[in-house]
Amino acid sequence: MNQYVTGAVIKDLREKNKMTQLQLSQKLGVSDKTISKWETGKGYPDITLLEPIAEAFRISITELISGNTVHNANVSANMLRSKFYVCPICGNVIHSMGEAAINCHGIQLTPLEAEPTDECHMIFIERVEDEYFVRIHHDMTKTHFISFIAAVSSDRLQLVKLYPEGEAEARFKISGVRKIYIYCNRDGLFSQDILKGIDDKVSGYDDAQERRELEQAADMLFG
């Protein structure tokens, strides 16, 4: 987090807002030379100018000083665009439906980028009646463990917190779930889409079907 508004932030915001130095200077009642000075690190805007600068860019003074601006066109859009933040110090898990400037333990948290699952973080999904039973073969020691599993649909988030020494598994109501997320405290966030026609099949029925087919094949071969 910046201590005060920096020239780089002003330049970035000015360019994002498609303003010239002259246009910004006219809004603030200063000369374009002054803007150039700020942007090249040769001076800071006076504190009385913070409010007009924030207004010119339609952001808050906090965003202006921190350099973290939030742009949410339509927050109510879709839970599938969910973002997860995890504090590296305390493990605090924060969910957001759009962009946000989030701090924990004095650290500006960035939204986690979910990666496709790898061989050490495979997600096994099984349908049991009206629930998905999700499990991961993974260490659950104090230093390396799965910290949460989440199931997201367009209008719902189901999140189960896991703890070291526990099982890396959880159950979720199926209702429209499209994506499963898991978070490993060392390796980060992974996600897997629910595969229609595979993950939502009732496993018990499939086993029976498969067994019948094997029995029929054995009958045909060995009489």
How near is the Cβ of 144 to Fe ion at its closest, in Å? 6
Q: Which C-beta is closer to Fe ion: that of 57 or that of 190? A: 190
Stretch that binds Fe ion, among 10-18, 109-117, 166-174, 182-190 (CB under 5 A): 182-190
Q: Which C-beta is closer to Fe ion: that of 25 or that of 117? A: 117
Cα(111)–Cα(91) distance, integer angstroms: 14
Distances (CA, A) of 197 to 116, 127, 181: 20, 11, 20
| 184 in contact with Fe ion (CB under 5 A) | yes
Per CB under 5 A, contacts with Fe ion among 185-204 are 187
| 32 in contact with Fe ion (CB under 5 A) | no
Residue at shortest CB range from Fe ion: 184
Distances (CA, A) of 207 to 134, 198, 202, 214: 18, 13, 9, 11
Q: Which C-beta is closer to Fe ion: that of 119 or that of 130? A: 119
How near is the Cβ of 91 to Fe ion at its closest, in Å? 14
Cα(111)–Cα(82) distance, integer angstroms: 9
| DSSP one-letter string for 97-151 | SS---EEETTEEE-PPPPEEP-TTSPEEEEEETTEEEEEE----SSSS-EEEEEE
Q: Which C-beta is closer to Fe ion: that of 5 or that of 182? A: 182
| 24 in contact with Fe ion (CB under 5 A) | no
Enumerate binding residues for Fe ion (CB under 5 A).
Answer: 184, 187
